[in-house]
Every structure is written in structure tokens, then in C-alpha cells.
Structure 1
Amino acid sequence: MTPPVPPEVLARARARLLGAPAIPVSEPVPPGLPTASDGSSVWLLPPWPDGATPALLEEYDIAPMPLDRPGQARRVLAAALRCCWTRLDDAPWPGEPAPVGDVLEVYVRMSRGDAELARRWATGELRRLHDTGWLLLDEDTATVRTGPRIALWPEGSLGPLRDLVRRLPQPPEPLPHVDAQGGAGEPVEDPGE
């Protein structure tokens, strides 16, 4: 008879297979497994082997970011950071929710060529980044925010990233809302996005 598999081994395997699965805060977290929490959920993060660099992972055919077009995915991630990382003095996780339309607009401003095609490609990349835990995409509310994998970025790497994010195009400004009496009210998002 096969001995039972310890729960921490199953949790590690699940994290490596699924990317960054979320569990309720009330569930116990296996010891030694990196996690990120936003107060309502805890994400189990697959640990990188000690000393693993992208070059080493590539040598062993292990993709650190399993995506079809990593250059494009990095640009979409940068556009999302520009919109979701609103307080650059703080850590990027958990970030602020941003409208998907704003992220797509920042991406289009970073790109060349057909804007509509760029939006379609970026939408696919947003979904792939969500599937791998780099972003949290809520398609019901059409918002995105930084994902739990970003919580693993060391503080020392954030300085150059802050400089890069500052140089990216600004997200579009919300349109002013005109109330029934013709006065300006709270800003609203562009309904065309």
C-alpha cells in the first residue's frame, strides 16, 4: 500500500502546476511555501530554486514565465504596473484595481502599428498573465490589478522598476461627469472603452 502524500507536498505540487492557486485565508498554509495575501485570499506561490536565474531555468527548459510572446507579455505587464501601481513608494503588491481599458490604452501608446490589433493582442496577454499569477483579471468588472507573483519581487529590484514605470505613458484621465443640473460631478470612465 502506498503511504499517504503529506499535505505540504501536495500544496507545493499544486502551486507548481497551477501557477499561484488562491485559498481562503482561514485554510492552513503549508510550512515553507511562499505566499501572498490581500486580506481575503492567500495565494500559494511556486518557489524558484535557490540561485535560479532566467538563464539557468532556460538551460533546463523551465520557463519562468510560460508565455508564447514573452516580450509582448512584459510590455503588457509594464502597462498594467503603470495603471495599478499608483503609489510608487509602496510595494507593487497588492496594487490598486485599474480599468482594463486604461491598461490597453497605455499599451497602445507604448506600441507601434494598428491600435485595434494591439488591443486584441494585449487582451490575450492579460488573460495569460492572469493564468500565470502575474496579474489578477476580473472580467466581470473589467478591472485588473497586480498579481500575487509580484509579491515575490525583492525590494532591491524595485528601484529600477520604479524608474521604468515613471517613464511609461500615463493612463487616460477619467472623463468628467455632468449631472442632471449641468454641473460637474465625479469623474467617470469613458463608456467607449
Structure 2
Amino acid sequence: MTVDPHVLARARARVLGGPSVPASDPVPPGTVAAADGARVWVLPVWPDGATPALLEEYDTAPMPLDRAGQARRVLAAALRCCWTRLDDAPWPGSPSTVADVLEVYAGMTRGDTDLARRWATGELRRLSETGWLLLDEASGAVRPGPRVALWPEGSLASLRDLLRRLPEPPARPGAGEGPGE
């Protein structure tokens, strides 16, 4: 029996997530590489036109999350902090502090900001587990994950517009250009 390499790659991604391999390793069929220096994340190629609803129908949702709306807002806050040059591609992005992301997220929400930050911290972890963000809790840093590298250029215009409307990250002493500059 022969298994389509694209189907096999998607099944591996469901089980393993987006594994990181050395850049010198070959990229298996049915996958695409999101390169970042000496590492490469191996991600499945989803069929053209595969909407989140269609993928969920086949139990292959690319971003399985309990609170998808909140996760999208946390991802947007992280992108606002890490995608500092909106005219460039979002991948690989720039590292930002988790504190800055939580500050932007708190500026997007109403109500108890401490509670919002606690919820957002959990969402940062889930987004990291699913490859949307790279989170280093020990250093308190976050940046876009390898899945962001798969966004087609044509889909980025509306995302750029959205990010420009979000609260600005806090200014840090010695920081270079700000988001969107």
C-alpha cells in the first residue's frame, strides 16, 4: 500500500506539530520548510482552498484551540510586537518580550487586566505548542512561529491593516524602529 506523501506529512504534523530539524536535512515530500538560520521547521502543505471549516470537518484543524477568538487576539498582539516592519514578511519576525505582548493584549480588552493577562499567558503557551509562536518562557521572549511563514503574501494586506489599528507596544529604551515604521 502506498501512502500519499502529502497525507502522511499532514498526519505527522497532527501528531508531532512542526518539528525543527537542521537546515542540512532534506525536506520530506508533502511538506514545506520554514527556514530560520541553522534550523528549519517542517510543516505540512494544506490543499488549496482548505478552509478552517473544511479541515475541522475532517478532524484536521490546523489550529486546535479551546478559545479560538481569544487565541486570535493574543496572536494579533504578539504579531503587533514582533512584526516590526509591516512592509516585510512576518516570518521570521523580531523577538519581543512577553510583557510587551501582554501589555498590547490588555490594551485590546475590557475589564480586569490582570485576569486578561493570565488568560493571554495560557494562550501564548497554546500558540507556541501549535507552531504559531515561538515562546521562550525562561527569557520572557516571544516571536512569530514557523506556521506564520506559510501565510501567502496575498492574505497579508488585511492583517497589516488590522495590526496598524492595534495598540502600540510600550516604548523600550534603546529600541529601534517601531511597528509599522
* TM-score interval, normalised by the smaller of the two chains: 0.7 to 0.9
Residue in 2 aligned with 1:165?
163
* Residue 169 of structure 2 corresponds to residue 148 of structure 1: no
TM-score by length of 2: 0.88
* Residue 137 of structure 2 corresponds to residue 125 of structure 1: no
Aligned length: 174
C-alpha displacement at 1:120, in angstroms?
A: 0.5
C-alpha displacement at 1:12, in angstroms?
A: 5.3
The residue type equivalent to 1:90 in the other structure is: D
Contact 1:79 1:103 in 2 (8 A): yes
C-alpha displacement at 1:134, in angstroms?
A: 0.2
Query: What is the aligned-residue identity percentage?
Result: 75
The residue type equivalent to 2:110 in the other structure is: R
**What is the alpha-carbon distance in structure 1 between the residues aligned to residue 60 and residue 11 of structure 2?**
15
Task: Select the structure with the greater relative contact order (CA < 8 A; seq sep ≥ 6).
Answer: 2
Match 1:107 to one of 105, 108, 129? 105
**What is the alpha-carbon distance in structure 1 between the residues aligned to residue 65 and residue 35 of structure 2?**
25
**What is the alpha-carbon distance in structure 1 between the residues aligned to residue 6 and residue 68 of structure 2?**
31
Residue in 1 aligned with 2:133?
135
The residue type equivalent to 2:165 in the other structure is: R
Summarize deviations over 1:125-145 as a string: whole Å, max 9, x none: 000000000000011211000
Residue in 2 aligned with 1:116?
114
Summarize deviations over 1:69-88 as a string: whole Å, max 9, x none: 00000000000000000000
Contact 1:136 1:144 in 2 (8 A): yes
Residue in 1 aligned with 2:178?
none
Structure 1 or 2, whichever has the larger Rg, is: 1
C-alpha displacement at 1:19, in angstroms?
A: 1.9
**What is the alpha-carbon distance in structure 2 between the residues aligned to residue 75 and residue 140 of structure 1?**
23
The residue type equivalent to 1:116 in the other structure is: D
Match 1:82 to one of 80, 83, 96? 80
**What is the alpha-carbon distance in structure 2 between the residues aligned to residue 102 and residue 79 of structure 1?**
9
Q: SS at 2:31's partner residue?
A: coil
Residue in 2 aligned with 1:63?
61
Match 1:72 to one of 70, 73, 76? 70
Describe the shift of the 1:32–1:48 C-alpha distance in structure 2 as closer, same or farther (beyond 3 A).
closer
Residue in 2 aligned with 1:94?
92
Match 2:28 to one of 21, 27, 30? 30
C-alpha displacement at 1:30, in angstroms?
A: 1.3
C-alpha displacement at 1:63, in angstroms?
A: 2.1
Tell me the C-alpha RMSD between the 2 structures: 2.2
**What is the alpha-carbon distance in structure 1 between the residues aligned to residue 78 and residue 137 of structure 2?**
15
Q: SS at 1:45's partner residue?
A: strand
C-alpha displacement at 1:173, in angstroms?
A: 1.2
Q: SS at 1:34's partner residue?
A: strand
**What is the alpha-carbon distance in structure 2 between the residues aligned to residue 30 and residue 155 of structure 1?**
24
**What is the alpha-carbon distance in structure 1 between the residues aligned to residue 70 and residue 148 of structure 2?**
18
**What is the alpha-carbon distance in structure 2 between the residues aligned to residue 68 and residue 100 of structure 1?**
21
